Structure 1
Amino acid sequence: MSNNQRLTNLENQLSEVTQRFDGQLSELRQQQEINTNSIVGLNQAVQSLLEVIRVDREIAREDRAVIREMQSEMREMQSEIRGLQLECQRIWEYLLRQQGNGNRPN
C-alpha cells in the first residue's frame, strides 16, 4: 500500500471519527439543554413549594394567635359563669332561708 493510500485511509478514518465525535457532541449538547431546562423547571417548582410553605406557616401563626385569643376569652367567660353560678347559689340559699323562716319570697 502506498503512502498516498495510507494517508487517504487515515484521512477517511479521521473523518469518520470526527463525524462520530460531532454527532456525540451534538447529542451531549442536546442532553445538556434538556438537563438545564429540567433544572430550571425543578428550581421553579421548589421556589413555588417554598412560597406555599411560607404562606402555610404564616397562616398557622395567625391561627395559633386566634386560638390563644379565643382560649383567653373562654377562660374569662368561664370565670364569669362561675361568678354567676355562685351568685345564683347565694340567691337560691337566701330564698330557701326566707321560705324556711316562713317568709314568702318576692
Structure 2
Amino acid sequence: MGSRRNPAIGMLVFMALAVMVGSYFTFAAVRGDYGLFRRAEVQAHADTLRTELSRLQAEVARMENLTRRLSDDYLDLDLLDEQARDVLGMIRADEIVVR
C-alpha cells in the first residue's frame, strides 16, 4: 500500500492551530488596541476630561459674572472698588493693611 498519513497527526495539527488562533483572538480581545484594558483606559481618561470640563465651565461662568458686573449696563460699585484697589494697590485712609 501507499504512504498514508496517520489521521491522529492531522487532528493534532488541526487542534494545535485552532488553539493558537483562539489564543490570538483572546489576547487581542483583552490586551489589543480595542481590548478590555484599552477600553478601561479610555473610560478613565474620559472621566478625567469630564471633570476638567465641569471645572472649566464653572470658571467661565464665574468670569462671565464678573464681566457682567463690571459692564456698562450693570455696574457693581463694590466689585469696581475691589478691582481698583487690587490693580492700583491703594487703600482708604481708615483701613489697616495686614501682611
Structure 2 Cα separation of the partners of residues 88 and 70 of structure 1:
26
Q: Please, which runs of 5 or more residues in structure 1 have no aligned partner?
A: 1-18, 96-106
Q: 2:62 aligns with which of 83, 88, 95?
A: 83
**By how many angstroms is 1:69 displaced?**
0.2
Q: 2:51 aligns with which of 72, 75, 79?
A: 72
Moved over 4 A (4+): none
Output the aligned Cα RMSD: 1.9
| Bigger Cα Rg | 1
- Residue in 2 that maps onto 1:94: 75
Aligned length: 71
The equivalent of 1:62 in structure 2 is 41
Structure 2 residues not aligned, in runs of 5+: 77-99
Is 1:44 the equivalent of 2:20? yes
In 2, the alpha carbon distance for the partners of 1:83 and 1:42 equals 61
- Write the distance in 1 (CA, Å) between the matches of 2:16 and 2:7: 14
Q: Which residue of 2 aligns with 1:53?
A: 29
1:30 matches 2:6? yes
**What TM-score comes out, normalization by structure 1 length?**
0.60
Q: Answer 1 or 2: which has greater helix percent.
A: 1
